[in-house]
Amino acid sequence: MTNILIIYTGGTIGMVKDLETGTLKPFDFSKISENIPELRLLHCHLSDLSFDKPIDSSNVEPSFWVKLVEIIANNYEKYDGFVILHGSDTMSYTASALSFMLQNLNKPVILTGSQLPIGDLRTDAKENLITAIQLATLQEDNRPVIQEVCLYFEYKLFRGNRTTKFSAEHFHAFDSPNFPALAESGVNLRVEKQLLLKNKSTNFSIATNLCADVLIFKLFPGFPLKVLESIVNWGLKAIVLETFGSGNAPSSAEFISILEVAKSKNIAIINVTQCSAGAVVMGKYETSQHLQELGVIDGKDITTEAAITKAMFLLGKKSDDINWFKENFEKNLAGEMSN
């Protein structure tokens, strides 16, 4: 039997309605098999660990990610897989951060949540939880089939750092616009093994030094240049610039001048597309050629969530060498971008 640790951090999935007061209260995961008897059909032993004070995912900060990876590291040898229950609002940020912080991972770490509380009549929580656990138990030749950070929601398993939340209303709340699903749950559980990351190293370690001196700036027609100019003078280490289409931006002298100032201050400018799907291709149009000439970092098809967490991770390793940062950001480190 495989041993799976369920880590409840907070969020809608862990709430049940008090029948007397009608208010939501935390679910007791120590009695999970009693409340969800279907779990007994899985060939695994479940343990649970809940945060002393569950948090709303809107309050997630880098220190929360550090706490999570330390929990996983402290329990890494005891368990064959980990299922993290998390609020959906920032789940893609957490999944992305963990994919970089958990180095040489060779066990499944699967995040899931729900749009409705686990005690609700029409809840999506039970299916998400049951299937996330089942995926974490999958073994082949006494090794976990999944050896990466994933996100499971509404019948699909995605690579965590490829996801984005696109709906606040539908059960199908997450998508992976630039990479196919790793598994799909239907009548059968179909796993696309050829898409999974293959880690040959057994030297598991964690990276807990993150630098949050980063910012996302989304371009729009008529955006105030003075705001971007002020941001450049804040003392940041990196700016994720959400540009138009395939990485295009204004070619005005004023805009270029601001980017030149950022370059002189060793601020990394990362070019990601604000489109929901597709990739940055700098130099394809004249309106992106000047970015390429200025040494702006090519975000390729990375999501904004993965871009910001990857920047924090790399700056935590070395924050004073922009050439090293650019070289490593443009590398595919954890399956977050296409080669």
**Which residues contact residue 248 at a Cβ distance below 8 angstroms, ignoring those fewer than 6 apart?**
285, 287, 288
Q: What are phi and psi of 316, to 5 degrees?
A: -70, -25
249-256 contact pairs (CB < 8 A, 24+): 249/219, 249/287, 249/288, 249/290, 249/291, 250/219, 250/287, 251/286, 251/287, 251/290, 254/225, 255/225, 255/228, 256/290, 256/294
Active-site residue identified among 2, 12, 164, 309: 12
Identify which of 69, 130, 57 has the alpha carbon closest to the alpha carbon of residue 104. Answer: 69
Provide the sign of the torsion angle of the four alpha carbons 145, 151, 157, 161, taken in this order: negative
Distance of CA 135 to the CA centre of its chain: 18
DSSP-derived secondary structure letter, 62: H
Q: Is 21 a known active-site residue?
A: no
Distance of CA 282 to the CA centre of its chain: 25
Identify which of 178, 179, 173, 217 has the alpha carbon closest to the alpha carbon of residue 196. Answer: 179
Rounded CA-CA distance 171/115 in Å is: 6
Q: What are phi and psi of 223, to 5 degrees?
A: -60, 145
First to last CA, the chain: 37
Q: What ranges make up the beta strands (E) of 109-232?
A: 109-112, 139-140, 143-144, 149-153, 156-159, 164-165, 174-175, 183-185, 189-191, 205-206, 214-218
CA quadruple 161, 162, 167, 170: dihedral, nearest 10: -100
Q: Which residues are catalytic?
A: 12
